[in-house]
Structure 1
């Protein structure tokens, strides 16, 4: 993975940028096995969408929720000034977008507009919009290019290292999924200016996850001044987002390539600790988090559910003898410093446990991403029911 910069994007007005802005950072996600795609982080980057699309794409579907109409207008205006046709597609906000009925509606809109396999999709919004638009791009006439323009902290620190895109069904979260890598990602920090503080803090759970998995300096930065990092317009936001993207990209790329060189199954027993796909490690905390989201009817923020899920994963690893108690406590310390939840009601266990299987079954076995130590992710396979319950009792309220 490489990291480069180019000259800063021109500010829209002198008043808006009284001092020079740092140059946008370029990160390439991918490597020897997976062809890299660019991720750009900076400010004033709406014109970067057209640059990442390339000159061949002349028609673009711009998928966005209603509240981002102004930002969508800026992107569409730039594309249209360069002779492109833009089809605006307004979709529900939040998890309501990740519905098969919404996808069918978008298919019909592309059909009526005459979109072909030579056109493209741009996703402007949070993680749910990225999932929906990714599914749309992956399934339209065998797959068309996708550009992600995440608008939230959570999406910038997660969608930038894109893998599976997914929809929800009544039986659970993200059960309909496929992989469609974007052609590029534009993280315009200007979009965070109006992001509610609570949403930004929720997104920081993804930053904590990256710190636990691969870059402990992120945890140090949060613990040094949790109030400052909780401000979406704060001085640390760009560093947090860039470091998280780089940490996740390096982890996913290295682990995936190691698996490719080892062979599809790897040495006997290797999957018990090191997994089949580096992206499994990036699912750290998701075993319980997705169950909590489903139980809450998706009314809980993803980052809040992830925070609970990471504490559960830590407790599970500790119960299995793989993670020291001091590292479990650090999970709680850093998350609670951000005022993120670390517990969940005791009476909910049976309902949550029933939601595990669809998300973590692998050849009939339950698999959970865990830590053996900070920066040393692995997989716990087939944990005993008693172990799963014992870990939950440690965070039950």
Structure 2
């Protein structure tokens, strides 16, 4: 039995000469982890080289030593990077142990070398006992024998062709520090959170896709250039589509322009869409994917904190009308979400801060650990600068994104179409959407939702669900993060009319999400107008 707390962080497998030892050592240095190579471990214990063991004791004796070494290290090498000899996975005991290791959450890394390069290296090798007597032919025979086993065991595959050992180590280090949140349901998918995860686009798009529509906004040009290069390198024909930034990109006119471009380019059902940018860009990209030929594959690549924790995950797609936000759209799940933390390095502070509103919302409705983390790190988060922030803060942000996405995943996995439980994710949104409309979308979504949560907390207090201390806590935490807790725009009748258009409304009756205590969301149906007016006045007193 392999215990996850004591097992290695990653095990590197692959053909002789692929560069497993160097990859393992350099990756370990990057993530500050210990490194071991099983061949070296065996040599240290036996007091002789692998070649000498083969010559004096035979291959089976070596395989027995190798199996013991691998099994021992899989059970007791916490957080380390372990490199195996090329033939180790072919031993039944090692193969089964690696399967157990995978099931326990371990990463098996297959370092794939191009056969032509492998043969070339084999021809120059003079210390590998299994390659004696025709190294090139022996290498190819072993490759044909072992390749399927490597592929079966691998959770991560790295190709060494056209890249440097240092770049490979960087890619592996990124992969090992990424977090994955699984969203279940009829069409399950994963949300990957980490530096460099954009590099996984090919895995999600697959080999059957020929054309990819890359939908993005101008402010993220640097990141869209990177994604475009990755897509072209993988062999896709890329149709580049730049849309207006923010809510201006979510109109039927923009959608029509994209549809016409896809028709001109000959897009079929086997082609795909990639949405890259903030929430508006991923909303529009998802809407295009859902409607083109009644649905094609799409991947979201959110580049803002708000998009990572909210819009890109959950399968909501849509566009706006003059009468309100997201009135036209569908529920359509992506093939996957790639939240690349490197995109946050260029994110302006005010856009980062607004994303904290949705993070706090998830804390209020379910995860008290999020609230505690926000309290403890409020000053640093409020001053976030992606280019200068310490690495520890990046780790904090990654954890906050992961926990927030987990909250959303728990809701959407059982209620994709928002018929019940998923409505709790709209805490603060009823008033928040009204504010955005009245302010002509000049208010950022997270800031509007922050005020909406204070309004909902006041409404819960007035109707006997929350005490004053909980309301004060809302204000104190949100303001400490740089979020707004008051609003002086509009008038009550205007706000009331807009809230009646909210998607949670039932006929002429309003429905709000409030808290019956922290972490205890509930519905409040048709509250008295007097209570709504009192809560409305409470968010205007600071002006």
Same fold at TM > 0.5: yes
Q: What does residue 471 of structure 2 align with?
A: 328
The alpha carbon displacement at 1:330 in A equals: 1.2
In 1, distance between residues paired with 2:400 and 2:408? 12
Query: Residue 3 of structure 1 contacts residue 26 of structure 1 at CA under 8 Å; is this kept in 2?
Result: no
Q: What does residue 156 of structure 1 align with?
A: 308
Is 2:499 the counterpart of 1:356?
Answer: yes
Q: What does residue 220 of structure 2 align with?
A: 68
User: Out of 162, 175, 181, which is 1:27 matched to?
Assistant: 181
Query: Residue 288 of structure 1 contacts residue 312 of structure 1 at CA under 8 Å; is this kept in 2?
Result: yes
The alpha carbon displacement at 1:19 in A equals: 12
The alpha carbon displacement at 1:121 in A equals: 0.7
The alpha carbon displacement at 1:253 in A equals: 2.8
Q: What does residue 520 of structure 2 align with?
A: 376
Q: Secondary structure at the match of 1:57?
A: coil
Seen in structure 2, the aligned counterparts of structure 1 residues 41 and 346 have a Cα distance that, compared at 3 Å, is closer
Instruction: Please list, as runs of the form range in 1=range in 2, the aligned pairs for 1:65-104 lying within 5 A after superposition.
Output: 65-104=217-256
User: Out of 194, 218, 230, which is 2:346 matched to?
Assistant: 194
Is 2:305 the counterpart of 1:172?
Answer: no
> CA RMSD for the aligned pairs?
2.6
In 1, distance between residues paired with 2:364 and 2:269? 40
List per-residue Cα deviations over 1:323-376 (Å, max 9, x = no partner).
222211111111011121101117632222211111132244211111111111
In 1, distance between residues paired with 2:539 and 2:179? 39
Seen in structure 2, the aligned counterparts of structure 1 residues 189 and 5 have a Cα distance that, compared at 3 Å, is farther
Higher helix share: 2
The alpha carbon displacement at 1:67 in A equals: 2.1
Query: Residue 214 of structure 2 contacts residue 275 of structure 2 at CA under 8 Å; is this kept in 1?
Result: yes
Is 2:355 the counterpart of 1:183?
Answer: no
Q: What does residue 125 of structure 1 align with?
A: 277
User: Out of 250, 264, 287, which is 1:112 matched to?
Assistant: 264
Query: Residue 98 of structure 1 contacts residue 132 of structure 1 at CA under 8 Å; is this kept in 2?
Result: yes
Larger RCO, structures 1/2 (Cα 8 Å, 6+ apart): 1
Q: Secondary structure at the match of 2:513?
A: strand
The alpha carbon displacement at 1:163 in A equals: 3.2
Q: What does residue 366 of structure 1 align with?
A: 510
Query: Residue 5 of structure 1 contacts residue 25 of structure 1 at CA under 8 Å; is this kept in 2?
Result: no
Comparing 372-381 with 144-153, which one deviates more in the overlay? Answer: 372-381
Instruction: Please list, as runs of the form range in 1=range in 2, the aligned pairs for 1:200-349 lying within 5 A after superposition.
Output: 200-230=352-382, 231=384, 233=386, 234-235=393-394, 236-254=396-414, 256=415, 276-345=419-488, 348-349=491-492
In 2, distance between residues paired with 1:3 and 1:65? 40
Instruction: Please list, as runs of the form range in 1=range in 2, the aligned pairs for 1:136-155 lying within 5 A after superposition.
Output: 136-155=288-307
The alpha carbon displacement at 1:123 in A equals: 0.2
TM-score for the superposition, normalised by structure 1 = 0.88
In 2, distance between residues paired with 1:149 and 1:105? 21
* Structure 2, unaligned runs of 5 or more: 1-102, 110-155, 387-392
Q: Secondary structure at the match of 1:168?
A: strand
In 1, distance between residues paired with 2:210 and 2:243? 22
TM-score for the superposition, normalised by structure 2 = 0.65
The alpha carbon displacement at 1:225 in A equals: 2.3
* Structure 1, unaligned runs of 5 or more: 261-274
In 2, distance between residues paired with 1:125 and 1:119? 20
Seen in structure 2, the aligned counterparts of structure 1 residues 110 and 23 have a Cα distance that, compared at 3 Å, is same
In 2, distance between residues paired with 1:161 and 1:132? 13
